[in-house]
Amino acid sequence: MIESTNPATGETIQQYSEMSATEVDGILDRVAAAAAAWRLTDFAPRSAGLLKAAELLRQGRDEYAELMAREMGKPLEQGRSEVDKCAWVCEYYTQNAADFLEDEHVDLAGDAERSFVSFQPLGVVLAVMPWNFPFWQVFRFAAPSLMAGNGAVLKHASNVPGCALAIEDIFGKAGLPSDLFRTLLIPSGGVARVIEHPAVRAVTLTGSTPAGKAVAAAAGAALKKSVLELGGSDPYVVLADADLDGAVDACVTSRLINSGQSCIAAKRFIVVESVREEFERRFTEAMKTKRVGDPGDPRTDVGPQARTDLRNELHAQVERSIAAGARCLLGGELPDSTGAYYPITVLTDVGPGMPAYDEELFGPVAAIIPVAGEEEAIATANDSPFGLGAAVFSGDVDHAEELARDHLEAGSCFVNGFVRSDPRLPFGGIKESGYGRELGPFGIREFVNVKTVWVE
């Protein structure tokens, strides 16, 4: 049985029966048949379906935001913004897919009459998706995959089954072929069997590093392409010449977005000693102004954590960090109240050997790491198994750009701004934050056959 629970109240929302192996096999076979016909269509009918999906998303933005708030605690206004972004990514690929996948001609200087590279769909793509952005994570894979001519199967996180079924319903109502996009209500333990199924040609996962390793191993054993977007512990480097007002605003926004439950949220604030005291003061004061509460209340900045066990795990990381020498400037105490709430927390004097330094803190907890200067700041930023996003704040924009381009080890590096995904830019990580890219022209080419055609 799969159960959705409201993390703000602890109340059960709905229970769903798990699909049997026979049901799953039947769905996969039908998606494969739908994909075989879909690959032969041109971009016009594909675009029509995605544009209709974008229209339906905007029409239902309040309904879908409320669904996210109930199932995983996202504040309503953030949920509405997430739905809008899903509509945007659908529209972006309808406007650009034909150009991104246009044949690329190669002049072989007389060795062939003509030769070119063609980008052809692979077939059925399995997506294993997380709960933290339950609509966006799905649409950012689905829009390019469907526009490329693939079919799609979704195994969503078990605490957001309502979101998973709502997304399937959107694509069905948008006029896409029946069974082209389907949701599987199965536990995580059933994913390996789906990867092995001959109908599945590739797999993408957004989630934790351990989950990514398990899926990568299963995909590798089956010789199937995989793309992984995994955890992150993004460093935000604040240099001595930074505009502290701008830096604090960006750092607070990034740390608390989605109630702190974002892979690309700022997590480690690496501040040079000369501005450390002032940054701490301004940052802590700004964090104090943010409100933790009911995700349905428009005044709420931070809702509950998605599950009580995740909240408790976060608190244990905070306690171990303090026991190892970190100082708590704000929060840090487990509330005695209903719901999976956790206070906005600021730790300082964080260093190696502490969970706040070495691990990902998936919640509204900030770790301030003081450093002597720029060289130590960059070394500290890169002293992590993760490499998803990073940011640097400095008044010397040209120098900051050089640091972002040449020295910070991450898939996305921002200067004087907080890291975020954008349909127009490639997104993904390095090291234990995964491999492959989503979004932009790179994202739509991940799940295609890059085919060489040579003509005498």
pLDDT band at 150 (very low <50, low <70, confident <90, very high): very high
pLDDT band at 347 (very low <50, low <70, confident <90, very high): very high
Give mean pLDDT, residues 287-291.
98
Together in a domain, 239 and 224: no
Together in a domain, 131 and 154: yes
pLDDT band at 280 (very low <50, low <70, confident <90, very high): very high
Together in a domain, 183 and 256: no
Residue 424 falls inside a structural domain:
no
Together in a domain, 82 and 133: yes
Residue 420 falls inside a structural domain:
no
Report which of 267, 276, 281 is spatially closest to residue 317, judged by C-alpha positions: 267
Residue 287 falls inside a structural domain:
yes
| pLDDT tens, position by position, 1-30 | 999 999 999 999 999 999 999 999 999 999
Look at residue 50 and tell me whether its pLDDT is greater than 90: yes
Look at residue 109 and tell me whether its pLDDT is greater than 90: no
Report which of 346, 331, 332, 431 is spatially closest to residue 388, judged by C-alpha positions: 431
Q: CA-CA distance, 329 to 156, in Å (whole number)?
A: 37
pLDDT band at 441 (very low <50, low <70, confident <90, very high): very high
Q: How far is CA 290 from CA 33, 200, 339, in A?
A: 50, 45, 18
Q: What is the CATH number of the domain that holds 261?
A: 3.40.309.10
| pLDDT tens, position by position, 408-419 | 999 999 999 999
pLDDT at residue 332 in the model: 97
Strand pairing report for 200-206 and 266-272:
unpaired
Look at residue 375 and tell me whether its pLDDT is greater than 90: yes
Residue 23 falls inside a structural domain:
yes
Together in a domain, 243 and 385: yes
Name the strands in the sheet holding 266-272, side by side, starting at the edge strand that comes first in the sequence. 327-330, 345-348, 365-371, 266-272, 234-238, 389-393, 412-415
pLDDT at residue 397 in the model: 98
Please give the DSSP secondary-structure letter assigned to residue 335. Answer: -
Together in a domain, 193 and 342: no
Q: What is the CATH number of the domain that holds 128?
A: 3.40.605.10
Residue 421 falls inside a structural domain:
no
Contacts of 379 (CB under 8 A, 6+ apart): none
pLDDT at residue 337 in the model: 87
pTM value surpassing 0.75: yes
Give mean pLDDT, residues 93-97.
98
Together in a domain, 119 and 215: yes
Number of domains in the chain: 2
pLDDT band at 316 (very low <50, low <70, confident <90, very high): very high
Give mean pLDDT, residues 230-254.
98
Together in a domain, 266 and 396: yes
Look at residue 78 and tell me whether its pLDDT is greater than 90: yes
Together in a domain, 205 and 276: no
Residue 66 falls inside a structural domain:
yes
pLDDT at residue 289 in the model: 98
pLDDT at residue 434 in the model: 98
Together in a domain, 191 and 155: yes
Give mean pLDDT, residues 49-61.
98
Look at residue 308 and tell me whether its pLDDT is greater than 90: yes
pLDDT at residue 113 in the model: 87
Look at residue 110 and tell me whether its pLDDT is greater than 90: no
Give mean pLDDT, residues 315-341.
97
Residue 250 falls inside a structural domain:
yes
pLDDT at residue 63 in the model: 98
Together in a domain, 260 and 375: yes
Together in a domain, 173 and 289: no
Give mean pLDDT, residues 200-218.
97
Residue 212 falls inside a structural domain:
yes
Range of the domain at 218: 2-230+431-455
Look at residue 191 and tell me whether its pLDDT is greater than 90: yes
Q: CA-CA distance, 150 to 231, in Å (whole number)?
A: 27
Residues carrying an active site annotation: 229, 263
| pLDDT tens, position by position, 380-408 | 999 999 999 999 999 999 999 999 999 99
| pLDDT tens, position by position, 111-149 | 888 999 999 999 999 999 999 999 999 999 999 999 999
Please give the DSSP secondary-structure letter assigned to residue 294. Answer: -
